[in-house]
Amino acid sequence: MKVLDVNELEIAYGGIRAVQGISLHVDAGELIALIGANGAGKTTTLNCLAGLIRPTRGQVSLFGQELTQVPPHQRVQRGLALVPEGRGIFSRLTVLENLEMGAYTRKKDGTLQTDIEQIYTLFPRLAERRKQMAGTLSGGEQQMVAIGRAMMSQPKMLLLDEPSMGLAPMLVEQIVATIQTIAKNGVAILLVEQNAHLALQISQRAYVMESGQITLTGDSKSLQQDERVRKAYLGE
């Protein structure tokens, strides 16, 4: 079953076509990678899927329902959440307040505290720092807050933009393990990741984006052996 379906998506800034008619899909239970060089259009694509940028052409659907004209907050209500590049946390709010902000589209019922505790189970360090201002956290801890905040909206489709950027290797391992846990719990994931080797290791399928176009797609194991991918993105 298709969770996310993108058809002939085109995005332009002025007269520049940043994304040129791409199509992709994410099925239920899948962790899909979108890889490519800086400037290929990956972040622009995720921002468009989240409703932050209007496409000039094409369709975006979630569980078969058209999203193209749906505003960002309603996309969140329907089960689509974005963890943006650069984290985008509320630096002057505490860790707990950031998590609570992630649930702003939800009814305030008895499940809210349960979900917060689940985030603390995923990221024990956040439990230790729940009263700390988020802007004083390390980069890795801020990334935990960003993912936890997105998960508080109870997403069915999670968009992750460069979650390992700027993190120490040990923290990258922890973030990746958490992403895999989220996927195993049934959340479909579209992952944009600068570390192509890592992205291909943990995903089932992948799309390669170059200059606003999807130029390659296939299962991740096959793409790891593709000569073009190995030379361009895996440093071989």
| pLDDT over 80 (residue 109) | no
124 DSSP 8-state letter: H
Q: What is the pLDDT of residues 114-157, one digit of tens each?
A: 999 999 999 999 999 999 999 999 999 999 999 999 999 999 99
Second-level CATH architecture of 2-232: 3-Layer(aba) Sandwich (3.40)
Provide the sign of the torsion angle of the four alpha carbons 52, 56, 61, 64, taken in this order: positive
Model pTM?
A: 0.94
Q: What is the pLDDT of residues 82-92, one digit of tens each?
A: 999 988 999 99
Write the single-letter amino acid at 84: P
Section 31-48 average pLDDT: 95
The torsion defined by the Cα of 26, 215, 147 and 47, in degrees rounded to 10, comes to -90
Q: What confidence score (pLDDT) does residue 236 get?
A: 59
Residue 36 and residue 21: Cα distance in Å, rounded?
Answer: 16
Cα–Cα separations (whole angstroms), residue 95 to 37, 46, 64, 128, 140? 33, 25, 35, 10, 13
| pLDDT over 70 (residue 45) | yes
| Beta strands 57-62 and 31-35, pairing class | unpaired
Using alpha carbons, select from 7, 32, 11, 30 the residue that is nearest to residue 20. Answer: 11
Q: How large a percentage of the chain has pLDDT more than 90?
A: 86
